Amino acid sequence: MIYRSKLLRILLASPHSDVWNSRKHIHMGLAYLAGSLRAHGYEVEIWDASVEADIETLDDKLARDPFDVVGFSAPTPLINNAWDEAKVAKKHGAITILGGPHLTLQPHESMEKDQVDLVVRGEAEYTIVELLAALERELEIARSRQQTDSPRLSPLETQSEFQPVLFDREAGWANILGLSWRDKSGTIRHNPDRPLPDDIDAIPFPAHDLFKIDRYTNLNPLTDGLDMKARSFTVVTSRGCPYKCTYCSKPITGDTWRGRSIDNVIAEWEWLVKDLGATEIGITDDIWNLDKQRAKDLCRALIKAELNHVPWVTIHGMKVNNTDAELFQLMKQAGCKRVGFGVENGDDWMLRHVIKKGQTIEMVENAFKWAKAAKLQTMGFFIFGMPGETEESMEKTIRLALKLDPDLAHFMMAAPFPGTEMWETLKEHGNVFSDTMDWSQLAIQDNKAHFAFTDLDKETVERKWHEAHRRFYLRPRRIARIAIRWDTWQRFPYYLKTAANMLLGLGEREAAAA
């Protein structure tokens, strides 16, 4: 059923972020929602604080250009910012909706905030459209009762600005799966979860064209030859991951995996390259190579469609399992420039019993060997300070990083998120949860260890983390390699600041040294 509205204007927003984040990527969750809304006739815009706030604040934007509905997306560390910005939207008379990973984990907490009218849990392309239809019905009901013919949302604005909107059951709110709302008595209602859609091809393409793409950065800290000013878009070729790494927060997709058809991915890729002028593309799936044959087929299709002249990267890495030499050769021919792998730890026992990564060091070494043989740039992600970690296992991680010698090593300290096995372990045995802790402290890439665990204190984790940067990046061969790169000199002040923090522990962390 197609719902059409000439009335409702919707702004989808990513809130201001205080967490470490050197890259500015377009927000695919908002892009997908905007694509669906647009396909159903709604007028929608995207506002991403990371690229807009320094030009115009949300407050100023809404004062100049009011919206009926403002939806915010929030991962756990950004939830405080989402609450703050929901107050701003409410001040300007908008209905506020919150969605995204943290809301799926803890919907009730946000529903208890007066500035939050609705919370959406899980994947939301269908929920948001049903929700707006309910809002239109609600307006009809309110208007008929108040006998007003105002075209805007005024019937719902009769309550004061920081009171939550109470919705009329008659408008059908109780039937919308995945929605949390308040009924007329003020009772918070959590409707049943919405099953994840099986057919991702049926979801309209993300609204890539709504982003001010020139304000975003390239997709990762640079390695040789990638354009610093690239027009960088991202593509989600599949959703979910069936692995169960103990630190990984997967509130939206759980342990499922759903791949798009190759034709559908190629059609979007073609749009990006031919119409939107993409000069860099990032695959941002959790695990795009779960089905190795499909991964190879995608590479072959990119070659066939002559899309392989635009470089692409696997932003968050790919799984070392499900790879072989042929896959990397095909990726290279298909235009892939750089590939990342979640290595996490250099100790097989840690990988197997603590991280439960479903991979061995031998698999890691093979994947790096094959990727390098295909002349792909490589990137490795390593985690320090998981529960059960020892100084010895962290030493093994540093040694493995040195041995693998990726173009870029990304060392992180473990961050617990609710819903993960690590969170449960720490709740039982660790000391992360102080009375003063708030969600923003759970950011992943901070330069502070988040917790001590049994005999392992925070200082040891932080010392080994700094040591990893020094031993990896201050090798003469590595320094020489960085020094001869043209982009190093273009971005010298930035690198200096980053190095001061990561190598010496001074100041704020900005990015992994490239």
Q: Applying CB under 6 A, which residues contact ligand B12?
A: 14, 17, 19-21, 23, 25, 27-29, 32-33, 50, 71-73, 75-78, 97, 99-102, 105, 120, 123-125, 128, 236, 248-252, 284, 286, 316, 417, 443-445
Q: Which is nearer to ligand SF4, 284 or 460 (CB)?
A: 284
Rounded to a whole number of angstroms, the minimum distance from the CB of residue 24 to ligand B12 is 7
Helix (H, G, I), strand (E, B) or coil at 63: helix
The smaller minimum CB distance to ligand SF4, of residues 182 and 260, is found at: 260
Of the two residues 15 and 101, which places its CB atom closer to ligand SF4 in the complex?
Answer: 101
Cα–Cα distance measured from residue 449 to residue 414, given in angstroms and rounded to the nearest whole number? 7
CB 170, CB 141: distance < 8 Å: yes
Closest to 261 measured CA to CA, from 334, 202, 320:
202
Choose the one of ligand SF4, ligand B12, none that binds residue 245, judging by a C-beta under 5 to 8 angstroms depending on kind: ligand SF4
Please give the C-alpha separations between residue 478 and each of 155, 407, 474, 503, in angstroms, as whole numbers: 64, 9, 7, 14
Asked if residue 245 binds ligand SF4 (CB under 6 A), the reply is: yes
Strands of 258-376, DSSP E = 258-259, 280-283, 312-314, 336-344
Segment near ligand SF4 (CB under 6 A); pick from 91-99, 238-246, 380-388, 420-428 = 238-246
**Cβ 234 to ligand SF4, closest distance in Å?**
16
Among 90, 239, 319, 410, binds ligand SF4 (CB under 6 A): 319
Place of tokens 């390098």: 372
Cα–Cα distance, 126 to 199 (Å, whole number): 12
Give the residue from 27, 495, 491, 18 showing the smallest Cα distance to 215: 27
Residue 351 binding ligand SF4, by CB under 6 A? no
Q: Which is nearer to ligand B12, 487 or 510 (CB)?
A: 510
CA–CA dist 100, 278 (Å, integer): 26
Q: How far is the CB of 364 from ligand SF4 (least distance, A)?
A: 13
Q: How far is the CB of 233 from ligand B12 (least distance, A)?
A: 12
Among 32, 173, 205, 243, indicate the residue that binds ligand SF4 (CB under 6 A): 243
Q: What does residue 136 show for φ and ψ, rounded to 5 degrees?
A: -65, -40
Toward ligand B12, which CB reaches closer, 120 or 468?
A: 120
Among residues 40 and 250, whose Cβ is nearest to ligand SF4? 250
Nearer to ligand B12, 249 or 329 (CB): 249
Q: Does 444 bind ligand SF4 (CB under 6 A)?
A: no
Quick one: 154 or 321, whose CB is closer to ligand SF4?
321
Question: Is residue 239 a contact partner of residue 196, using CB atoms and an 8 Å limit?
Answer: yes
Residue of the chain from 15, 101, 342, 380 that contacts ligand SF4 (CB under 6 A): 342
User: Does position 287 bind ligand SF4 by CB under 6 A?
Assistant: yes
Helix/strand/coil for 41: coil
- The CA–CA distances, whole Å, from 464 to 270, 411, 445, 510 equal 45, 10, 15, 19
Q: Which does 32 bind (CB under 5 to 8 A by kind): ligand B12, ligand SF4, none?
A: ligand B12
The reply on whether position 382 binds ligand SF4 by CB under 6 A is: no
Interatomic CA distance for residues 322 and 293, integer angstroms: 9
Q: Is 285 in the site for ligand SF4 (CB under 6 A)?
A: no
Nearer to ligand B12, 127 or 329 (CB): 127
Task: Choose among ligand B12, ligand SF4, none what residue 19 binds, the Cβ cut-off being 5 to 8 Å by kind.
Answer: ligand B12
How far is residue 455's CA from residue 288's CA, in Å, rounded to a whole number? 38
Of 294 and 319, the one with the shorter C-beta distance to ligand SF4 is 319
HEC per residue, 229-289: CCCEEEECCEECCCCCCCCCCCCCCCCCCEECCHHHHHHHHHHHHHHCCCCEEEECCCCCC
List the single partner that 102 binds among ligand B12, ligand SF4, none, CB under 5 to 8 Å by kind: ligand B12
Q: How far is the CB of 477 from ligand B12 (least distance, A)?
A: 29
Restricted to residues 151-210, the positions that interact with ligand SF4 (CB under 6 A) are none
Q: Let me know: does 376 contact 318? Beta carbons within 8 Å.
A: no
- From residue 8, alpha-carbon distances to 52, 124, 149, 331, 375 in Å are 23, 18, 15, 44, 51
Q: Three-state DSSP class for 340?
A: strand
**Binding partner of 410, given ligand B12, ligand SF4, none, CB within 5-8 angstroms per partner class:** none
What is the enclosing helix (H) or strand (E) of 67? none
Q: Which residues bind ligand SF4 (CB under 6 A)?
A: 241, 243-245, 248, 286-287, 319, 342
